C-alpha cells in the first residue's frame, strides 16, 4: 500500500500528499541544488563547494562575487528554469495524449519555435531579443495549428500525436529550407543556435524566463488534478465534473508557452521534455502527470548535462544540446523497446 496522507489547513482546505512522491521531489531538488553548486564552482576560476555556498550567502571576496553573481549564476538559473519548463511541457502533453511519445519535441512544438527563431535570423537578421520573440511566436502558431488540426469532437491523444508528427516533419523541412537560403554568416549563427546552448547566458535571459515561469507554474499545478482526470478520457473527466475543453485549452496553451520560452532562452534542447516526466513517474511509482517531480527532474537533468558538456571533454566545451541529444537518444531507444515488449506499440 502506498502512503498517502491528507493535510488540512485551518481554512478547511485539504491536500493529499503521496509520501514517496514527496520524498522523490525533495531528493531530486537536493540533487539539482548540489549539481548547481558544483557547476558554479567549475571553470577557469575553480571554487570549492564551500566557497560557492559562502559566496551565494554574501561572504565571498570581490572576485568570487563577480564570478558567481555575474558570470556563472545566471547560466545555472537559466538551466534550472529551462529544464523545469521543458519537463513540465513534456508532462502536460504526455498526459493529454496518454502517450509517452507525446512530447513537444516529437509532436512539432519545438520545431515550430525553431522555425520562428530561424525566420528572424535568416530573413530579418534580428538580434537576440527578436530571435527570442520569433521562437515564442513560432511555438504559439504551431500550437494553434496542431490543436486546430487535431480537434474533432475533442482532441484525442492518438490523433494529437499523429498530427503533431506530421506538422513536425513539415517544419523540419522548412528549417532545412531556411538554412539553405541563408548567407554564410546567418547560416553559421542559425546552426549554432539550433544546437541548444547555455553559453553566454546572463540576467537578461533569466528575468523573462523567471517571470513566465512564475505565472505558468502555479496555473499548471492548479490544474494537476483535472489533468489527471483527463488521462482517464473525456467521458470520465466530464463525469467527475472537469470542464474538459477549457481545461485542455489552458493546459495546451501553458505547455506550448513553456516549450516556446525555454527554446527562446536556450535554443532547441532535445529529449529533456521526453525523458524527464517518464523518469519522474518511474521514481515516484505514482500515476498521473507527477508535475512537481517532473519539473525538478528536468532541472536536474539539464544541469547534469551541462556539467558533462563543460567538464567531460577537457578544454573542448560542447553545447548542452549535444549532450542531451546523445543521452536522450539512448533513452528513446530504450523506451521504444520497453513499449514494444509491453505490447503498447
The cell for 104 is 513537444
Give 12's Cβ-side CA count (13 Å radius).
Answer: 0
Which of 179, 166, 171, 163 lies closest to 111 in space, CA to CA?
A: 171
The cell for 268 is 532547441
Contact 161, 101 (CB under 8 A): yes
Which of 105, 90, 131, 115 lies closest to 264 in space, CA to CA?
A: 131
Query: Which region holds residue 154: left if phi is over 0, alpha if psi is between -120 and 50, else beta?
Result: left
Total-model pTM: 0.89
- Condensed to tens digits (0 to 9), the pLDDT of residues 200-250 reads 888 888 999 999 999 999 999 998 888 888 888 777 878 888 888 888 889
Q: How far apart are CA 92 and CA 252, in angstroms?
A: 7
8 forms bridges with which residues in the sheet?
A: 14
What are the residue ranges in the chain where pLDDT is below 70? 1-17, 153-157, 314, 339, 343-345
Contact 107, 274 (CB under 8 A): no
Q: Which residue has the cell 538559473?
A: 77
Q: What is the pLDDT of residue 190?
A: 84
Amino acid at each position: 500500500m502506498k502512503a498517502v496522507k491528507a493535510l488540512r489547513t485551518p481554512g478547511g482546505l485539504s491536500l493529499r500528499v503521496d509520501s514517496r512522491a514527496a520524498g522523490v521531489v525533495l531528493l531530486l531538488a537536493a540533487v539539482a541544488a548540489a549539481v548547481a553548486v558544483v557547476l558554479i564552482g567549475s571553470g577557469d576560476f575553480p571554487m570549492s563547494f564551500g566557497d560557492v555556498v559562502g559566496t551565494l550567502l554574501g561572504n565571498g571576496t570581490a572576485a568570487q562575487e563577480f564570478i558567481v553573481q555575474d558570470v556563472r549564476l545566471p547560466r545555472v538559473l537559466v538551466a534550472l528554469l529551462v529544464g523545469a519548463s521543458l519537463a513540465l511541457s513534456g508532462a502536460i502533453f504526455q498526459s493529454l495524449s496518454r502517450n509517452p511519445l507525446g512530447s513537444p519535441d516529437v509532436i512539432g512544438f519545438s520545431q515550430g519555435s525553431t522555425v520562428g527563431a530561424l525566420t528572424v535570423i535568416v530573413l530579418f537578421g534580428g538580434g537576440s531579443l527578436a530571435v527570442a520573440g520569433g521562437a515564442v511566436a513560432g511555438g504559439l502558431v504551431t500550437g494553434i495549428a496542431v490543436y486546430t488540426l487535431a480537434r474533432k469532437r475533442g482532441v484525442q491523444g492518438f490523433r494529437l500525436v499523429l498530427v503533431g508528427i506530421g506538422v513536425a516533419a513539415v517544419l523540419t523541412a522548412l528549417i532545412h529550407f531556411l538554412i539553405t537560403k541563408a548567407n554564410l554568416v546567418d547560416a553559421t549563427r542559425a546552426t549554432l543556435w539550433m544546437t541548444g546552448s547555455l553559453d553566454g547566458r546572463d540576467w537578461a535571459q533569466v528575468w523573462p524566463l523567471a517571470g513566465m515561469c512564475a505565472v505558468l507554474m502555479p496555473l499548471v499545478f492548479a490544474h494537476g488534478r483535472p489533468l489527471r482526470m483527463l488521462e482517464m478520457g473525456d467521458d470520465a473527466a466530464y463525469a467527475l465534473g472537469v470542464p474538459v475543453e477549457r481545461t485542455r485549452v489552458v493546459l495546451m496553451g501553458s505547455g506550448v508557452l513553456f516549450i516556446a520560452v525555454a527554446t527562446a532562452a536556450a535554443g532547441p534542447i532535445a529529449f529533456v521534455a521526453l525523458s524527464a516526466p517518464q523518469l519522474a513517474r518511474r521514481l515516484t511509482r505514482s500515476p498521473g502527470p507527477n508535475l512537481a517531480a517532473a519539473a525538478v527532474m528536468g532541472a536536474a537533468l539539464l544541469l547534469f548535462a551541462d556539467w558533462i558538456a563543460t567538464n567531460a571533454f577537457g578544454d573542448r566545451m560542447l553545447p548542452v544540446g549535444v549532450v542531451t541529444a546523445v543521452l536522450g537518444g539512448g533513452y528513446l531507444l530504450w523506451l521504444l523497446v520497453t513499449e514494444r515488449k509491453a505490447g503498447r506499440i
